[in-house]
Structure 1
Amino acid sequence: MASPSTIWILSDGKAGDVAQCVGVAEALHLPYEMRTVAPKPPYSWWLPYGPFPPKDRETHADSPIAPPYPDIALASGRRAAAYLKRVKKASGGKTFTVFLKDPRTGPGSADLIWVPEHDKLRGLNVLVTPTSPHKFSASRLAELKSEPFPEIDSPPAPKVAVLLGGDSRHHTFTESDQKRFIDGLRQMATDDQAHFLITVSRRTPADLAKAVEELAISGGHYFWAGDGPNPYGHFLAKADAFVATADSTNMIGEATSTGRPIHVFHPSGGHDKITRFLGTLEQLGCVHPFPGPMKTTTYEPIDATPVIAERILADYSALHHAGTPSSGEEHPAVTVETRKTD
Structure 2
Amino acid sequence: MLKTIWAIWERDAAGMQSQALGLAEALFTTEGFGLPQGFEIALRAPQKWLPMHPAFASLSALTPDTLAPMQGQPWPDLLIASGRKAAFAALAIKKASGGKTRTVLTQDPRSNPRNWDLLVVPEHDRVRGPNVLLTHGALHRVTQFKLDSAAQSFRDEFAQIPSPRVAVLVGGSNRNYTLDEDWMHDFVAQLRNMVQRSGCGILATVSRRTGEAETNILRGGLASLPAVLWDGKGPNPYFGFLGLADIIVVTCESISMISEACSTGKPVLVARLPGRSRRFELFYDSLLRRGLIQWFDGRLMQWENTRLDDMDHIARDIRDRFGWA
What 5-or-longer segments of structure 1 have no aligned partner?
Answer: 321-342
Q: 2:299 and 2:308 mapped to 1: Cα distance?
A: 23
Q: Which amino acid aligns with 1:275?
A: E
SS at match of 1:119: coil
Q: 2:245 and 2:137 mapped to 1: Cα distance?
A: 20
SS at match of 2:322: helix
Deviations along 1:177-236, whole A, 9 cap, x unmatched?
223211211121122222111111232233331222122221131112332101111011
Shift of 1:124: 2.2
Question: Which residue in the other structure is 1:218 paired with?
Answer: 224
Pairing partner for 1:46 from 16, 40, 50: 50
Question: Which residue in the other structure is 1:309 paired with?
Answer: 315
Q: 2:218 and 2:43 mapped to 1: Cα distance?
A: 40
Shift of 1:66: 7.2
C-alpha distance 129-293 of structure 1, shift in aligned 2 (>3 A): same
C-alpha distance 156-21 of structure 1, shift in aligned 2 (>3 A): same
Give runs of aligned pairs for residues 1-342 of structure 1, distance below 5 A.
Answer: 5-13=3-11, 14-29=13-28, 30-49=34-53, 51-53=56-58, 55-56=60-61, 68-317=74-323
Contact 1:48–1:79 (8 Å) recurs in 2:
no
Shift of 1:240: 0.5
C-alpha distance 219-36 of structure 1, shift in aligned 2 (>3 A): closer
Shift of 1:97: 1.4
Q: 1:277 and 1:54 mapped to 2: Cα distance?
A: 36
Contact 1:4–1:72 (8 Å) recurs in 2:
no
Q: 1:148 and 1:235 mapped to 2: Cα distance?
A: 8
C-alpha distance 160-36 of structure 1, shift in aligned 2 (>3 A): closer
C-alpha distance 63-220 of structure 1, shift in aligned 2 (>3 A): closer
C-alpha distance 56-165 of structure 1, shift in aligned 2 (>3 A): closer
Shift of 1:256: 0.6
Contact 2:58–2:92 (8 Å) recurs in 1:
no
Q: 2:310 and 2:244 mapped to 1: Cα distance?
A: 21
Shift of 1:102: 0.7
Structure 1 range deviating more: 161-170 or 41-50? 41-50
Q: CA RMSD in A?
A: 2.4
The alignment-based identity, stated in percent, is 35
Deviations along 1:114-170, whole A, 9 cap, x unmatched?
001211111222111111111111222222233343242332211001101122211
C-alpha distance 130-207 of structure 1, shift in aligned 2 (>3 A): same
SS at match of 1:222: strand
Shift of 1:311: 1.4
C-alpha distance 226-63 of structure 1, shift in aligned 2 (>3 A): closer
What 5-or-longer segments of structure 2 have no aligned partner?
Answer: 29-33
Shift of 1:62: 5.4
Q: 1:204 and 1:87 mapped to 2: Cα distance?
A: 35
